[in-house]
Structure 1
Amino acid sequence: MPNVLHIKKLNLPHIFIFIAVFTLFNAFSAYSKERLKKEIQRDIKKIQETPHFEKDTTYINLLHELIREYNQYNLDSLLIISNQTIKLSKAIKYDKGETEGYIIKGGYYSDIGEQDDAIFYFIKANLKARAINDTDLTLYSYSELAKEYMYKDEYAKSLKTFLTGIEIAKDSQNDKWLPILYINISVLYSLQKEYEQAVSFLKKALDVNERNDDQRLTGIILSNLAFSYIEIGNIENAKEPVNKAITIFEDLEQNSWLTYVYEIKGTIFLKKNEYDHALFWLNKSEVLHKNIDQTRYKIPLYLLLSKAYYGLRSNEIAASYAVKALEISKDLNNLENRDEILKILYEIKKADEDFGQALTYLEEFKAISDTINKKNNIKELSILKSNLEFEQEKEKYISDNEQKNLLQRSYIYFSILIILAFTIIIVILKRNNKIQNSLNQKLIENTHALKKNEIHLNGANNTKIRLFSIIAHDLKGPINSFKSLLDLFNNSKVSQTEFMHFMPQIGENIESIAFTLNNLLTWGQSQMNGLSTKPDFINVNTLVEDSLRLLSKQADVKSISTINKVEDHVITWSDRDQIDIVIRNLISNAVKFTRAHGTITVAAIEQNEFWQIQIKDNGVGMSEDVLTNIFSEKETSTTYGTQNEKGTGLGLRVCKEMVENNGGTIWVESEIEKGSTFYFTLPKGEKL
């Protein structure tokens, strides 16, 4: 479930951030929460008694539910359960469970201060969530990733990641995640000391959350509002939101958040030098901290307690709390608040006239102040860089829009050219129809030539059908691909850079379309008077190489290896255009029905008077029923390949006709799941 940042400090001017888990169970009493944990454990035990329980997604979901109840109290459980659920989810291909496991594991590394490891697992979760199109998990991972960039002072990355999440939440109208992202981005502005901006985003979060009526989230927003008002210096404005937040979290028994708002309340009284009242609220926070396994968050609490006791002149107690804070700070190698701790220890020892110890703390204070100042200078430079990069992003966005409009006009012109090409084809087809009508009229007038003309007309009609089929499959597919790509670009689904990556492939597709158009115009005209064959000496190796080159992109997409074993001396006496169509169609079908990482081999075997060409794949194969009718279909049909590819549309019946028209034969051998081999023969030609 979502994590929400809040700023836990509270000793100006330093800022300390930690995470509170956004649990599903907002309004349960302590008794109900304990009962809920027992119920989850009981359900887990019940599932474990069933066979193959580790393959049950319910079991994985219950483990995630259990960790949401315990993660504030036992950090080690985060790592143990996340590793278990990731392993179980992978085994049964439960993508959602695997994604949640990565987020939980990233949260563990975040809580122990290992930001690089946390970022690694949040990125894995984000990629997985987007792959399965899960909006909630996508937004969750974006939020966690942006937060981790923030921890590393990489504010530009954090800002861009948060803004990406906000755009997705707006587009998907996700009112559950939108306020959370607003809250988290307000923390980013707080870190940059832009508290007015922080207040603005918190008010946006409050407006959106009113539609959800999520009391826990309302408490989070109010507590952060109170903190921001304190930073601005408006103590009076901080009182109302912190009081409301305390009431909400006490009703919901949200202990981790109560420690935070109690410290905000105590800080307000410290600002007013009302130390007794400050101590009351800080002691309440300390009691709750005893049951929360988050040692690093005790540093600012102990510092505040030290200040309160020092204000009451209880120097010994004040020193003990400051020493505790210093020990934790050094153990965790955490510089946040270290200078404030050393400063108050110096003041306490100086007041107690322990000048030797006071001097030690003063020297350590000066040394750590120099380190912190250097770190703050680096951080301020990071903030400046973040703002500069953000402005550059906006300028780039405007420039990209202008370029996009220019490209859109170019693509419109390109589309017009494609339409003109279709118009030419339609004119040819209409002309063919007129010829057919003229022939029909002659048949009525001349009964003596009825049989001959009938056969001719049937042949012309079949040619028309084949032409339409070729147009529908060889041209319609690539042009629809262009249209889809243009639609994606026009709808800003792909960037200009991404679109330009497609330009080499578009060029090859245009070359393929131009080849097909020329073929259609020549072949279509000749077919009106029957299939005209013009044999010549042709080099089969050249035709195979050309076809493999044209189909290389389709093969590369599926990582298919293509092997041409046809040697240069394989010369046949046949029609170049027709055999080119046969070879290209058979190789295209092989690519279509071969799975990823398969192999396609083209070879030639010499016989007495013929060359036997074979195109072999190790794809899906064909059943006996399919083999029986494969060359006898009356209409060209299209089946879909292993990745839903469409065929060339020419059909094996047309290939058969062309092979036989060149004096050869064609047949196929195939076995399910082992692949197919198409054979055809062509008359030998003399060596060139």
Structure 2
Amino acid sequence: MKNWFLGILIFINFSLALGQSALKKDVVTTKTQINSSDSSRISFHLKKANSYSIQNVDSASYQFNKAIEIAHSLNSTKDVAEVLYSQGLFFHNNYKYVKAIKFFNEADLLFEELKNHKKTGLINDYIGKNYSYLYSYDKAFKHFLKALKHYQQIGDEIGSAKVYSGIGNIYYLKKQYDISIKYFTKSFSLYKKNNNELGIADSYTNLANAVSDNGDFDKGLEYYNKSNVILIRLKDKYGIATNYNNIGDCYIVLKKYNYALDYFEKALALSQDINDLGLTSIIYSNIANIKKAQNNFKETVDYANKSLKIAVEINDLGIQSESLLTLSKVYEDSNDFQMALKFKNQYIAIKDSMLLQDNTEKAHFFQALNDLESNQSTINELTIKNENNRLKLEYKNRLSSFFIVTSILSIIFIVFLIFQQRAKRKTYKLLAYKSEQVVKMKDEIQTQHDRLKDLNSTKDKLFKILAHDLKNPLSSIEGFTDLMIEDGAGSDEEERMLFLTTIKNSANKASSILNGLFIWAINQEKILKTKKINLFSLLKDEVKLLEIQALYKKVSVLINVENNIYVKADEDMLGTVLRNLISNAIKFTHSKGEILVTSKIADNFVEITIKDNGVGMTMVEVEGLFRVDYNVSKEGTANENGSGLGLVLCKDFIEKQGGKIWVQSIVNVGSEFKFTLPLYINTKEQKKTA
């Protein structure tokens, strides 16, 4: 009897389930018919949106919103996902990577729900690329692996090849060339297997870039030529021109300048044919460097100016700086130091602008990525809530029949207990993780607090310096200006010239103070970029920039430094230190005096000494040097003014690079400013010697 009753209950439950399934099927069929009739409207809005450029982003967004409204009205997850994917692609193609990631993430959640592995793989590949463009390599790697997993599930080898190429590019950007070559080779194998010519050509180019940067130029040239064989067949002019330019770069390193020129001329013809101004500017810059190496002054200046003109037109600061540096060096080599100094100053100004722009962009990227992560967290929470609501709805539907309540109540109760237990475990893990994060955040906040406290203290000291040091020149300007106004026509020409000279000197001093403070402020947030620097070469360059100051006072600057000494330092910071110390030595040395720059190596450090036979300093003056709170400036032997901030800058820059600075001085005998920097050691050469 019990078995018979249980059979009836099972039959009723099965019948109700079939009825609900049939009802759902009818609803889906109806929606499909509606979607079919409205799909053209969605396509119309998407096509309209993609016709706009990024300058008309508001118009494009309006069309995307209209498309997504239709998709939502149809309750079609697939159409909503397609619109979000199209919107992400729009921002990706217009280089707005943070916004692209936002829409790709939203589309990814929906395609995951639809179990569309191909689209999920494609989207995560795009997300990985966008994160790599934003230098967020860890996140990029995570999404590339997710894309690879989906492509492998459906056996999409072309998709997998694209992912391997993306991973290889991450390691290439991180200069881990051996690992990047490994992934580019994997990508090449899959493209080769599937006879994908464009993919094969792209892989050859990637391999060429990696092996060339790793020092194997012969192999790099072989790969570039193999890539071009395919690209010529495919008539890809941009790809061919890029390869020709890269081949030219290889020949420059190999010092085969005629070969390099031949390939740069080929690249130039193609870039001009496709009107690619950026590539044309780069090629002109490369040709200028070859002409300089061949000591062809006229053509070097001609090509460098052509490159600079285009770079200014397209606002490419990187190419502008390269062209200005080439012009500075070529005029220096031709002993036209005035023109060399002009272009060197323009080069320094561009580099400063690039530094400020780079810091600003990184700050914006950092804030945008934080906002993106916050939005993604909110989306995930909403997704979980929607999933919970869906589960509750299904649960209620299963309880719709009174006859089966008693038979499944115990099962539901057990399931409930299991889910509750899992939820508790997840909650405990989440609480533990959040607690750990709070501790980390507390430590970070404390560190930031201490740093802000130090910065605030330094700021107060700087304000005191400004209040003190600017007071005198500004008061002088104000006083002598009042005298000129009050006297009017009563002053003779000689007296007026005296007043104007005093006003000019006061203005110069105030300008010097503010300029020193500006340089110091910029470099507080500058990222240290150390590299191998030839000390003698840099000293020679900086002394040439101070040649006019030395000639004016008839002071000799002698460099007694070996040509084979290399230091590990930031070139801009070290140049600033050398200019300040040598300029100060000239300032406090009498006419026909002598300044000697020497160096010695000890314990993997290079000690540089700048010695003068000038006025010297007392012990009190020596003890007050390099201090922000002391900061007293005195006039040079020819009444030169200074800001008093130069030595503060020098101490800050030397310590940032891992060195130290000090001074020895005797009144009326002279001063010796000494500082140390790490000696550059070639680890590869050490291993070979071992």
- TM bucket (normalised to shorter chain) is 0.3 to 0.5
Highest Rg: 1 or 2? 1
TM-score, structure 2 normalization: 0.43
Larger helix percent: 2
Q: TM-score, normalised by structure 1?
A: 0.43
